[in-house]
Amino acid sequence: MNDLVRQHAALSDTDLEWLHLLVSEWQLLSDLSFADLVLWVPTRDGTRYVSVAQMRPNTGPTSYQDDMVGHLVPRGRRPLLDVALDEGRIVREGDPEWREEVPVRVESIPVSREGRVLGVIARNTNLLTVRTPSRLELTYLQSASDLAQMIAAGSFPFPGQQVDMDASPRVGDGLIRLDADGAVQYASPNALSAYHRLGLAADLVGHHLGTTTAELAPSRGPVDEALVKMASGWAPREFEIEGSGGVIQLRAIPLKPKGPRIGSLVLLRDVTELRRRERELITKDATIREIHHRVKNNLQTVAALLRLQARRIESERGRAALEEAVRRVGSIAIVHETLSQNLDERVEFDEIADRVLAMVAEISPGKVTGRRTGRFGVLDAEVATPLSMVLTEVLQNALEHGFGPLDTGTVEVSAVRGGSVQEARLLVTVQDDGVGLPEGFDPHRSGNLGLQIVRTLVEGELGGTFDMATAAEGGTRVTLDLPVRPHQPRRDPRQA
């Protein structure tokens, strides 16, 4: 819509923002009207209209099989658009149009903001299935008429009340029509069922919705006046009520077709099962985080015991082996500590890499500095844990064998994410400027325990490749090429 408006129309950014707000809300008008909506905006020279948005109803058959967005029509071809734009009023005159042997009633609703008409909504109703309307359908159509008049007057949508239509109640979920005093004039079967779930034994019609809702909500004191006011529809609000039998999400929409409020529309849906799943998910998340926290504590205890044993052993080789084991256990503990702070089994590995680099640098025999370039990004726990061990082994090997007690130098860890979405790769390079590899050294045949661990984890568990060679500029370069799953943001359970 942005591109079409900026290319063809002369609307300001605030006008465009108003159209966006309208489009975010107009599924409500479409469903209440049982009609398709097309938003037409006059072009900059005033000779044509451009369609910038379209909506089909969930409550009835569509009038347009084709996508109308981007169509241009000259002024005069659709007279109802001209009258609505010029006179700023809803136009319902005219006989039904026939489209592919389907009769369609066409109406035009001006979209006003601060006394100016920005565009026109063409409301197209498929008349092929028209029958004697029920009480529900009459309530829908009356509410749609009130909303249309509010759009023409510039009082709908409500500024500052951006609504997430994916998470908010829809017309079919449940609808209640209130009079100006907050009494229920009509409640759809779904709405009545939702209130029965809360514990209501009687019918809703004729009762004050605010008072009834407050009485059903658990309370230890007087009736919640704020809840009474919200459920009475005095202002546009979205809120939830939890009773003994369930949870209901409500959205109140004041109806002011001619200025003063004549009543309200309340959309609601039963979200009991959704909230139950959310609570289960929260409990599961807390349990998983607690497990990772305890694993981290246990690993730190094991590391402390190994460190204590290393101090008591006399053999230099034995002490060095235990100190290596301490670092290996410590690298795994870092991953579990990070997982204990997250809501899912994925971690930002850059922080882990920096901590592993700092931990291993403590054993440096000389003045060797470490640094990281690039980003590892978010990784699954099953990748992060072995990769942290691999990184520990490679860094430890570089510092122990690449530099002497008095040497200075640098060890650099670089990470690059690449590949396609389906086959994402992570390329990790660890390079030092030390003495390099001995003549004839083969990293794939070396019996060194650290390199055996690296080969096993990289090739066996991570499904990647490992290479180690003397760098052209001196020192040693280790390259890891690993497949990784691309990060997918966790879905909000409220949108399930």
Q: Is the dihedral of CA 251, 283, 355, 443 positive or negative?
A: negative
pLDDT recorded at residue 366:
60
Q: What is the mean pLDDT of residues 437-460?
A: 81
Spatial distance between the Cα atoms of 277 and 285, rounded to a whole number of angstroms = 12
Tokens matching residue 150: 């509010």
pLDDT recorded at residue 257:
94
Q: What is the mean pLDDT of residues 434-448?
A: 78
Q: What is the mean pLDDT of residues 240-248?
A: 85
Residue 19 has pLDDT above 80, yes or no: yes
Phi (first) and psi of residue 218, to 5 degrees = -65, 130
pLDDT recorded at residue 422:
63
Residue 363 has pLDDT above 70, yes or no: no
- Burial call 28-42: b when 16+ CB within 10 Å, e when fewer: bbbbbbbbbbbbbbb
Confidence band for 328, pLDDT divided at 50, 70 and 90: confident
Spatial distance between the Cα atoms of 172 and 162, rounded to a whole number of angstroms = 20
Spatial distance between the Cα atoms of 428 and 372, rounded to a whole number of angstroms = 11
Spatial distance between the Cα atoms of 179 and 262, rounded to a whole number of angstroms = 6
- Structure-model confidence comparison of residues 423 and 249, the more confident one: 249
Do 23 and 50 form a contact (C-beta atoms < 8 A)?
no
Which among 463, 461, 466 has a CA at the least distance from the CA of 429? 466
Give 49-60 pLDDT, tens digit per residue. Answer: 999 999 999 998
Tokens matching residue 131: 């029958």
- Mean pLDDT of all residues belonging to the chain: 86
Phi (first) and psi of residue 311, to 5 degrees = -70, -25
Close Cβ partners of 202 (under 8 Å, ≥ 6 residues apart): none
- Structure-model confidence comparison of residues 400 and 265, the more confident one: 265
Three-class SS of residue 437?
coil
Confidence band for 447, pLDDT divided at 50, 70 and 90: low
Which among 394, 377, 380 has a CA at the least distance from the CA of 450? 394
Spatial distance between the Cα atoms of 330 and 346, rounded to a whole number of angstroms = 19
- Structure-model confidence comparison of residues 369 and 372, the more confident one: 372
Q: What is the mean pLDDT of residues 310-325?
A: 84
pLDDT recorded at residue 493:
44
